[in-house]
Structure 1
Amino acid sequence: MQKSHSTDHTDYRNTLDRIFNDISHQPLQGHAADYIPELAKVNPSQFGISLCHSSGEVYNVGDAQTKFSIQSIVKVFSLALAYRLKGEALWQRLGVEPSGGAFNSLALLEFEQGIPRNPFINAGALVIADILVSHWVNPKYTLLAFVRQLANTPSIDFNLSVAASEAMHGHRNAALVQLMKSFGNIHNDPRDVLDMYFHICSIEMTCQELAQAFLVFAHGGQHPITGETMLSLSQTKRMNALMQTCGFYDESGDYSFRVGLPGKSGVGGGVAAVHPGHYSVAVWSPPLNAKGNSARGIAALEQLTTQTGVSIF
């Protein structure tokens, strides 16, 4: 792993232990995502944190080695893959503005004539899926291979039960695809796009694997182990900007105010974030707040930047 040139002397081990112990003793807030029945079966008391530092150090606490469905966090990986493929032409089919509304809004998409506000709401992620379906014969496995490469973990895989549960109950996502198809912004068979989307959202990772995969966004687009350029500096900057402004649905402004790190959440209870040049961090706790973000995950990241006194701002 590449060494950091920063003079970061933070005691992350004790900091994470304090955060974990403090939050673990607080009553659980929120509820697991029950509109995907398989996610509702997960033990809500599980809680893990993993921080991967640019120096190569890894700090784990709690259930950091337990696999969970990353859900919308995968939108960062699919966007990165599409961005490598299409470059700046990508933005002809979707925007880069915070949505200011629900992540699965049909009304916003109708108003904006089938152009999703950003790649992290469901409509935007479906357009990204369509782009990948257009390019590869087995796009979901291409994306899976990309995630395995970033995390340096070949065992990462889909949870087929979760994918099937999403397909059975994904009526609103189907409506989003069909609406965009009517505006000409979906080029493939909607069934193929949905199959891609449901599978990649079901990918299971541990907190440590997720933090390892996010290190590329803290390293200017370079793979932290191989040194391979995965994204250009400019693309990495724009990816981090999108995570900062759009990564937490319509709670992104509040998250930026409280935490101050580029990141992305998923309704499986995971949150991943980066402090460029310093570290990547992943937190998992299934109960979600009213905005669909992990209640303990947000609290843990807020404490991390508060206790260390350092964020990107």
Structure 2
Amino acid sequence: MYLPPSGLFTGLLEPLLLTGLWTSDPRLRDCMRHLRQAMRESAGTVMVDQKLFRKCVGANILLLTQAFRRKFIIPDFEVFASNMDQLYYSTQRQEGGHVADYIPQLAKFSPNLWGVSLCTVDGQRHSAGDTKVPFCLQSCVKPLEYAIAVHEIGTEHVHRYVGKEPSGLKFNQLSLNDEDKPHNPMVNAGAIVISSLLKPNSNKAERFDYVMEYLKKMAGTEYVGFSNATFQSEKETGDRNFAIGYYLKEKKCFPENADMIAALDFYFQLCSIEVTCESGCVMAATLANGGICPITGERVLSAEAVRNTLSLMHSCGMYDFSGQFAFHVGLPAKSGVSGAVLLVVPNIMGIMCWSPPLDRVGNSVRGIHFCQELVSLFNFHNYDNLRHFARKLDPRRLSLDDRNKSVVNLMFAAYSGDVSALRRFALSAVDMEEKDYDSRTGLHVASAEGAPTYFSGIKLFSHIACTSPYCSGL
């Protein structure tokens, strides 16, 4: 095989991008480095032989093989991405809602901003819209903070101080449950208490760096920052949260020797952490993947921490709309007043939606609509796969049309003696014994042509693909 390096770069990357892998994927770092090095050194004059090709892709051969054989969780990612784009544009037409203005920095965002990014558990990614604009996590940090706490100090210890039940009240209500605990970690009172549990003996800088390190690991190599302006605004306009803090202190909700003001300060800092849709979706995908970041392969959170977090997101994550969201969408999610919606499709993908206009309970208008349309099209709702239930699209399966297309392509390659195409099908894990409408395999079609030029195709079927010549219809 001899190709110009530039042709190799294009010939490899174009089909690779269609599988959902990005060139910025950390797992492909070595492959991308070798490809770029080959292009620089050759200056377009040296051809790529088998040895150089192996050097370029050898370190990532398993990942690339899985991608090209369509063995990822979403096998036909090109079609799936097209469907997601249609959902994005249909949701873009949604109007209404108001940008949060009680925090001055949030009020500065345009109501026209709208972005959606997704990342599957295999690291397939797709984005549409304003996905590179940084915004603050706000309440979307609450499930992440809770997951870190459970991972570090355990479920039992965390729930000595915070409950597990939906409150049925506004997220910033001065209210506790019957045991004088915050109702759950997804309301402000619960998140403030959780803040006091994280590295209580460390100074402020160390505590912040500690959580940031976790969030950066969850986001892989994507952007995680901090908005000091939002942090200052939070402190200046946080009277309600200070009231909650003093109420918690009066009811002895904090651990012994905890500093309530320090806990509030830390909580404001965490709410002011910035992400983009592209980094937020990787965080969500880490939760969908049981605590393992899909683009680095690093375990960040324990399976128990993720399970507990998703359970609480499902029941309490969408403010006073949590019950309706669980009913209509049936997936774990968390919203924030910045307009973000962090959505988890367990074992499949994570999605981050962002649009600043909010409805009356504080959820993104476009974000809610997108989630509802998503489960209307795909069978992602927790109970969509019950027996006798109306069938929706399942992107985890190849469609019958795709299988029929592979049979047609295989037969046509056999008929025309296209050995390169046959070799490509074999390497892509196509079933070389698939039959056409007349029960003929590709071997039968190649043999029937009878010309000497077809011998290579027959040899490929019989010796390399080990196709049986004794199928019915011969």
Question: TM-score band, normalised by the shorter chain?
Answer: over 0.9
Match of 1:116? 182
Pairwise CA distance, 1:123: 0.2
Q: Give me the whole-angstrom Cα distance separating, in 2, the residues matched to 1:270 and 1:7.
A: 25
CA contact (8 A) 1:133 1:192 kept: no
1:53 to 120, 133, 139: 120
* Whole-Å separation in 2 of the counterparts to 1:311 and 1:125: 27
Q: Which amino acid aligns with 2:332?
A: P
Q: 2:340 & 2:291 partners in 1: Cα distance?
A: 22
Structure 2 residue corresponding to 1:147, chosen from 212, 215, 228: 215
The aligned length equals 310
Which residue, 98, 102, 110 being the options, matches 1:35? 102
**Alignment gaps of 5+ in structure 1:** none
Contact in 2 for aligned 1:114/1:179 (Cα 8 Å)? no
Identical positions, percent: 36
Partner of 1:77: 144
Which residue number in structure 2 is paired with residue 263 of structure 1? 333
Give matches, 1:217-236, under 5 Å. Answer: 217-236=287-306
Query: Which residue matches 2:245?
Result: 177
Q: Secondary structure at the match of 1:92?
A: coil
- Give the corresponding residue for 2:359: 289
Alignment-mate amino acid for residue 125 of structure 1: A
Q: Distance in 1 between matches of 2:372 and 2:297?
A: 30
Q: Is the 8 A contact 1:98 1:246 kept in 2?
A: yes
Pairwise CA distance, 1:82:
0.7
Root-mean-square deviation (Å):
1.9
Query: Which deviates the most, 251-260 or 43-52?
Result: 251-260
Q: Shift of residue 133 of structure 1?
A: 4.8
Q: Distance in 1 between matches of 2:73 and 2:229?
A: 43
How big is the shift at 1:167? 0.3
Which residue is equivalent to 2:411?
A: none
Query: How far is the alpha carbon of 1:227 from its aligned partner?
Result: 3.0
2:137 and 2:87 mapped to 1: Cα distance?
Answer: 22
The offset of 1:126, in angstroms, is 0.2
Q: CA deviation at 1:154?
A: 6.6
Taking the TM superposition and a 5 Å limit, the aligned residue runs for 1:72-221 are 72-88=139-155, 89-106=157-174, 108-109=175-176, 112=178, 114-137=180-203, 138-153=206-221, 155-187=223-255, 188-221=258-291
Name the TM-score, length of structure 1 as normaliser: 0.93
Q: Structure 1 residues 149, 232: CA separation in 2 closer, same or farther (over 3 Å shift)?
A: closer
Which has the greater radius of gyration? 2
Distance apart, 1:214 and its partner CA: 1.5
Contact 2:109–2:356, Cα closer than 8 Å, also in 1: yes
**Structure possessing the higher relative contact order (Cα contacts under 8 Å, 6 or more residues apart):** 1
Q: 1:220-263 CA distances to partner (integer Å, 9 max, x unpaired)? A: 22222343333332332221111100101111011112212111
Distance 1:164 1:310 in 2: 39
SS of corresponding position for 1:177: helix
Asked if the contact 1:133/1:196 (under 8 Å) is kept, the reply is: no
TM-aligned CA distance change 1:148 to 1:132, over 3 Å? same
Gaps of 5+ in 2: 1-26, 28-62, 384-474
Q: What one-letter code is carried by the residue in structure 1 that aligns with 2:202? A: W
Q: Is the 8 A contact 1:23 1:296 kept in 2?
A: yes
| Secondary structure of the corresponding residue to residue 306 of structure 1 | helix
- List per-residue Cα deviations over 1:267-291 (Å, max 9, x = no partner): 0000011111111001000011111
| Structure 1 CA distance for aligned equivalents of residues 289 and 183 of structure 2 | 27
Deviation, structure 1 residue 204: 1.0
Deviations 1:122-176 (A, max 9, x none): 0000001011151433212211121111102375221011110010010111111
The residue number in structure 1 matching 2:307 is 237
Distance 1:13 1:121 in 2: 34
| Amino acid in structure 1 at the alignment position of 2:124 | E
8 Å Cα contact 2:358-2:364 kept in structure 1: yes
